Amino acid sequence: MPQIADILIPLALDTAYSYAVPAGLTLDEGDVVQVPLGPREIVGVVWGVEERASGGNLRPVSGRIEVAPLSEPLRRLVDWLARYTLAPKGSALAMALRLPDETARTETMRVGVRSAGKPPSRPTAARDKVLAVAADGGVRGKSALAKEAGVSLSVVDGLIDDGALESVALLPEPVALPPDPDFPRETPLSEAQDAAARKMIAAFDPTPSSAEGRGFGATILLEGVTGSGKTEVYFEAVAECVRRGRQALVLMPEIALTAQFLDRFAARFGVRPATWHSGVGGRRRERLRAGVASGEVSVVVGARSALFLPFTDLGLIVVDEEHETAYKQEDGVHYHARDMAVVRGRLEGCPVVLASATPSIESRVNAQRGRYGHIVLPERFGGRRLPDITAIDMRLDKPERGRFLSPPMVAAVKKTVADGEQALLFLNRRGYAPLTLCSACGHRYQCRNCSTWLVEHRFRKALVCHHCGYTERKPEACVECGAFDHLTPCGPGVERIAEEAAALFPDKRIIVLSSDFPGGTERLRQELEAVAAGECDIVIGTQLVAKGHNFPHLTLVGVLDADIGLTSGDPRAAERTFQLLQQVTGRAGRGERPGRALVQTYQPDHPVIAALLSGEAERFYEEEIGAREAAGLPPFGRLAALIVSAAEREMAEAHGQAMARIADPPAGIMVLGPAEAPLALVRGRYRFRLLVKTDRGIDIQGYLRDWLARSPKPRGSTKVTIDVDPQSF
Ligand code: ADP
Ligand code: ZN
């Protein structure tokens, strides 16, 4: 009987389309196929197959594509992702299907050339050069051979046509060497680490009668203070997973994938792991994907998109730095990789480990309620102490005019570098100055596409919008009043701190780390290695230095403006600030010598700062969880944000109002707005926001779907984006 296949196409479509399966082709769910769509051919995935007497006049599937099929759990993950985020199912599929482009696919089969052992019919000087290189009988890629001989590729091609060189298929190099779970350790685990690792491994085989009780064995929160050696603990879980012949995935925030981490992995497993991040391109990407699907690759360490790789037998997922905001994708499909990791773990029937020194409120609550297991490492590895944290009250210890380092901070840095140790100055602000003002007329330089101030970047001699990237040259005279020499930078960014530090410590080596510096991620990784190797005295950085790095020479952390994040109206401000400050101060004293941290603040009594200073993380969590519960905020209630945007302000507002009028929320659901979004103008689009707040246990997606179905269709440039569980609101 002929088959009918429902094919899901990785475009913003909500349903699968039916196609006839031509005789001679048998398809299974998950197969990747090519199908006609309108006038073109497109890749899709078989979502369902049925046998039917007649396919009617359905168009036929063009053929199967020989790449790894999507496994059942992965297809269910796509379904889940679409249902949860309200993204079109096809858009969710696109995350799992990132196929290489055409060139990458044809390249997958690598071909090399070698000497055919006979002279060319027509020798030339260039041809002789090539044959001289090839005389060793070795197999080389065509362009490698041309390059080595110093001739153009056409010479090599000519020799192939001539029969003097022959083509041979190259055996593919293994995409990753197998990690050895029993590679000898240099130093043993501490007692605390060993106990934690054993507890975690026990959770691989949950038994109803286990001491930890119900729920343990699915998801585990591994909470260990900075420097407690969490990595080594979850490495043991990875090792056990590999020993059992299953696959493990370790998710990390992108920038944490440094050589330092890869070396630690190699020290534990004998080889570096296969890595998956935005920098892995073309052929390597597809080979890795194939290796994961065939089971040849047993461990992948990757950024959030690795979550959608087609593992055949996933036995463990680790989410390192689980509290990181970088796990939330804020464009396209709005998903949180930590939450999706938990879902994938459930679908695959494998344990998930969430590791952090500063867990998210969500994970903390889940652990407290017994939904997650909870393993705690309260002390640093090797008897090292957590840094002493002291406040500098900026109301009393004022910096000099036009400066940002207070006298006690300057003194502490001076002493640290004089002792041959490293100091880190942390300010979570890129650029030179967050605001430029004309002191003659008062004009403030604003982005023309966004409701934001332009940030001066002195290295680039430009004023830059941090939201849309709009850049203009810093003018010599004010564009408003024409006054010369009146443009005044207001407030500091890291570049300005670097200038101040250079003036104070002219003979010290200073490295500035900021995500917008030229050279991209690769250069940043190199600079991070240099810091770790002790090749500089003073590090000045934005939040990217706070994330999981190990800088053994660092003994002083100076936080320049602890209050920055506290003033926003965002209910997550306290959590974020606490996590960031705890993480960055936790970089101090991880090596031989003890560390300390100094925190410049105008509000030393603020609960977040007070909890940080006293080292009472527990107090912070208790208060914050209590406050969330009282306000019915996540995880005690649910939230979704609808952003209505349009090129014209009135259009956006009118559509938002039209939606609000028919929102008609049932009991337990509140719809707020529309109000101007916190960023009211971004990239030339005006934004209004509707907030949906529900009690726990209410099907927020069901309500949203129904409401959207009843809402008028957005017209013209108007667009509605949905963010379930928004991270800032
Ligand atoms: P965390 O991730 O909890 O902040 P790490 O895993 O980075 O901590 O470990 C902190 C430091 O302690 C690192 O320098 C690491 O190499 C070292 N360390 C941790 N456990 C061990 C161990 N068992 N043997 C040797 N060094 C260890
Ligand atoms: Zn802008």
Residues 679-729: tens digit of each pLDDT: 899 999 999 999 999 999 899 999 999 999 999 999 999 999 999 999 876
Burial of 688-709, coded b for 16+ CB within 10 Å and e otherwise, reads: bbbbbbbeeebebbebbeebee
CA distance 223 to 240: 20
Coil, strand or helix: which one is 656? helix
**Inside any domain, residue 180:** no
Cβ 226 under 6 angstroms from ligand 1: yes
Please give the number of the atom of ligand 1 that sits closest to the Cα of 320: 2
Are 141 and 285 found together in one domain?
A: no
CA 374, distance to chain mean position in Å, is 24
Task: Return the pLDDT at 110.
Answer: 58
DSSP string, 101-144: -HHHHHHTS-EEEEE-SS--SS--HHHHHHHHHHTT---B-HHH
- pLDDT category at 540 given cuts 50, 70, 90 is very high
Q: Are residues 370 and 411 in the same domain?
A: no
For 559-566, what is the mean pLDDT?
Answer: 93
Whether residue 357 is found in the same domain as residue 245: yes
- Which range, of 21-25, 258-262, 489-493, averages the lowest pLDDT? 258-262
Q: Residues comprising the binding site for Zn(2+)?
A: 438, 441, 447, 450, 465, 468, 478, 481
Ligand 1, atom 26, residue with closest C-alpha: 187
In-domain check, residue 472:
no
Specify the pLDDT at position 213. Answer: 40
- Ligand 1 center to 264 CA (angstroms): 9
Give the closest residue (by CA) to ligand 1 atom 10: 227
Confidence of residue 102 (pLDDT cuts 50, 70, 90): very low
- Nearest ligand for residue 357 CA: 1
| Secondary structure (H, E, C), 160-175 | HHHCCEEEEECCCCCC
The Cα 277–Cα 521 span in angstroms is: 11
Q: Is the pLDDT of residue 100 over 50?
A: no
Check which CATH number belongs to the domain holding 54 and give it.
3.40.1440.60
Using the predicted structure, report yes or no on whether residue 146 has a pLDDT greater than 60: yes
Q: Is pLDDT of 101 > 60?
A: no
Which mutation among 232, 353, 584 tests ligand 1's pocket best, with the greatest number of atoms within 8 A of CB? 232
Nearest CA to ligand 1 atom 5: 229
Give the count of beta carbons closer than 10 Å to the beta carbon of residue 185.
13
Q: Tell me if 358 CB under 6 Å of ligand 1.
A: no
Q: Which of 312, 345, 377 is the last residue of a domain?
A: 377
Q: Among residues 227, 228, 248, which one has the least CA distance to residue 236?
A: 248
- Residue 204 sits in a domain whose CATH number is 3.40.50.300
CB 545 within 8 A of CB 588: no
pLDDT digits 0-9 by tens, 584-595: 999 999 999 999
- How far does residue 642's CA lie from ligand 2's centre (Å)? 21
Task: Check pLDDT > 70 for residue 583.
Answer: yes
- Residue 426 reports pLDDT greater than 60: yes
CA atoms of 217 and 150, how far apart (whole Å): 60
Burial class (CB in 10 A: 0-12, 13-18, 19+), 461: exposed
Choose among 718, 595, 695: nearest CA to 646. Answer: 718
**Considering the domain boundaries, does residue 63 fall inside one?**
yes
Residue positions in the annotated binding site? 438, 441, 447, 450, 465, 468, 478, 481
Q: Do both 393 and 332 map to the same domain?
A: no
Task: Please indicate, yes or no, whether residues 611 and 650 belong to a single structural domain of this protein.
Answer: no
Q: Average per-residue pLDDT in the chain? A: 91
Dihedral, CA atoms, 560, 565, 567, 570, nearest 10 degrees? 180
The ligand minimizing its distance to the Cα of 451 is: 2
- Best residue among 550, 583, 592, 593 to mutate for probing ligand 1's pocket (most ligand atoms within 8 Å of CB) is 550
Nearest ligand atom owner, CA of 472: 2
**Residue 263: is its pLDDT beyond 70?**
yes
Which one is predicted more confidently, 516 or 538?
538
pLDDT bucket at 172, cuts 50 / 70 / 90:
low
Half-sphere exposure of 361 (CA within 13 A, CB side): 25
194 CA distance to ligand 1 centroid (A)?
13
Cα first-last separation, the chain: 54
The edge-to-edge listing of strands for the beta sheet with 40-51 is 17-21, 3-8, 40-51, 32-37, 63-64
Share of the chain above pLDDT 70, in %: 95
Please indicate whether residue 91, judged by its CB atom, sits closer than 6 Å to ligand 1: no
Q: According to the model, what pLDDT value does residue 123 have?
A: 87
Give the pair of three-digit tokens for residue 44. 């899709």
- Other C-beta atoms within 10 Å of 523: how many? 12
pLDDT in the model for residue 215: 39
b/e map 569-580, b = 16+ CB within 10 Å: ebbbbbbbbbbb
The predicted structure's pLDDT at residue 210: 43
Domain of residue 680 covers: 637-724
**474 occurs within a structural domain:** no
Ligand 2 centroid from CA 122, angstroms: 63
Higher pLDDT, 228 or 99: 228
Q: Are residues 158 and 241 in the same domain?
A: no
Q: Which atom of ligand 1 is nearest to the CA of 188?
A: 23
Domain membership of residue 153 (yes or no) is: yes
Under the banding of pLDDT at 50, 70 and 90, the label for residue 414 is very high
- Following DSSP, what letter does each residue of 365-406 receive, concatenated? HHHHTTSSEEEEE-S-GGGPPPPEEEEEETTTSPPPTT--S-
Q: Does residue 568 register a pLDDT over 80?
A: no
* Residue 700 included in any domain: yes
Which alpha helices (H) appear in 369-508, and where do they start and end?
407-418, 494-504
Say if residues 387 and 594 touch (Cβ distance below 8 Å). yes
CA distance 33 to 396: 69
In a shared domain, residues 408 and 496: yes
Residues forming a β-bridge with 221: 354, 374
Give the pLDDT of residue 103. 36
Give the closest residue (by CA) to ligand 1 atom 15.
229
Are 20 and 150 found together in one domain?
A: no
Report the 10 Å Cβ neighbour count for 320. 22
Ligand 1 pocket member 229 (CB < 6 A) = yes
Q: Is 230 in the pocket of ligand 1 (CB under 6 A)?
A: yes
Residues 241, 136 within the same domain? no
Closest ligand, as measured to the CA of 684? 2
Q: Is 227 in the pocket of ligand 1 (CB under 6 A)?
A: yes
178 part of a folded domain: no
* 205, 166: one domain: no
Does 410 share its domain with 556?
Answer: yes
Q: Which range among 45-49, 320-324, 545-549 shows the weakest confidence by mean pLDDT?
A: 545-549
Measured distance CA(246)–CA(243) in Å, rounded: 7
Token pair for residue 485? Answer: 């020499």
Instruction: Say yes or no: 407 and 363 in one domain.
Output: no
Q: Quote the pLDDT of residue 729.
A: 66
CATH at 651? 3.30.70.600
CA distance 220 to 318: 9
- Whether 228 lines ligand 1, by a CB cut-off of 6 Å, is yes
Structural tokens at position 380:
């640093």
73 lines ligand 1 (CB under 6 A): no
Amino acid at site 265: F
User: Does 448 map to a domain?
Assistant: no
Instruction: Note the ligand closest to the C-alpha atom of 445.
Output: 2
Segment 199-224 shows an average pLDDT of 69
Label residue 104 by pLDDT band (50, 70, 90): very low
Q: Which of 568, 596, 627 marks a domain boundary?
A: 627
Would the CB of 260 count as within 6 Å of ligand 1?
A: no
Nearest CA to ligand 1 atom 14: 550
User: Does residue 40 contact residue 77 with C-beta atoms inside 8 Å?
Assistant: no
Indicate if ligand 1 lies below 6 Å from the C-beta of 80. Answer: no
CA-closest residue to ligand 1 atom 17: 229
CA of 342 to the centre of ligand 2 (A): 36
The predicted model gives 423-450 an average pLDDT of: 95
Domain boundary among 97, 120, 152: 97
**408: closest CA among 207, 601, 652?**
601
User: What's the domain count of the chain?
Assistant: 5
Q: Quick one: what percent of the chain has pLDDT higher than 90? A: 74
